[in-house]
Chain A
Amino acid sequence: DAGVIQSPRHEVTEMGQEVTLRCKPISGHDYLFWYRQTMMRGLELLIYFNNNVPIDDSGMPEDRFSAKMPNASFSTLKIQPSEPRDSAVYFCASSFHGAPGTEAFFGQGTRLTVV
């Protein structure tokens, strides 16, 4: 398996524009996580899905953020409208069964810069 695949790797956009980040989890994994990483706050969990269903979105900072998982092999994180403070590295991760102790595998991340 190629691992968790995220696209794009880098995104530069202007304030107010819509941004869509994409993730393909590892085949067979049933948990998918979206994280945001900044120097100040570290890795923050934004939302996670189990079997394509959102379980906990309490980490989503504002209504400008939304995430979907239309099927087991694809998820999106959308920011509309984007703001400079959204600049960060966004990671997607997936794991199997979410059973006790089952590790999550991370993608390479999308570095988002909002100017």
Chain B
Amino acid sequence: EDQVTQSPEALRLQEGESSSLNCSYTVSGLRGLFWYRQDPGKGPEFLFTLYSAGEEKEKERLKATLTKKESFLHITAPKPEDSATYLCAVRHGSSNTGKLIFGQGTTLQVKP
């Protein structure tokens, strides 16, 4: 069965303290791994798509990487405005079914 597991569930960092969030997945025929950011009371906001093992994407203080079994979202020198829930999702299928499955998310709090 396709599965997406994120860890940790919650993470508290001091401003400037770098760390990583993990997304482990079990899926048949990965057709994209996605990272989203969700602020309270809002819908998830797209950050990155990764297609194949070894791929990396960067945006400001965030960097996403992908292996055959997991993805990491590295946060370098985070600021309080990076506080949010970060969601990982996978798109799968031997055919182009388009189904998008999410993990439970990691809630990040960055203290000044």
Q: Which residues of A are in contact with B by a Cβ distance under 8 Å?
A: 4, 31, 33, 35, 42-43, 45, 48, 50, 55-56, 91, 93, 95, 98-109
Contact = CB atoms under 8 A, between A and B. Distances in A.
B96 A100 contact: yes
Interface of B: 31-32, 34, 36, 42-46, 49-51, 87, 91, 96-105
A103 to B, nearest CB: 5
A107 B91 contact: no
14 contacts: A31-B98, A33-B100, A43-B44, A45-B100, A45-B102, A48-B98, A91-B43, A93-B100, A100-B91, A101-B51, A102-B91, A103-B34, A105-B46, A108-B42
A101 B102 CA distance: 14
Given A42-B102, A43-B102, A103 B97 contact: no
Of listed B31, B100, B105, residue having the most chain A CB within 10 A = B100
B104 A50 contact: no
B29 to A, nearest CB: 10
B2 to A, nearest CB: 11
Nearest to A41: B104
B31 A42 contact: no
Given A100-B91, A103-B34, A109 B98 contact: no
Contacts of B45: 106
Nearest to A109: B43
B43 A100 contact: no
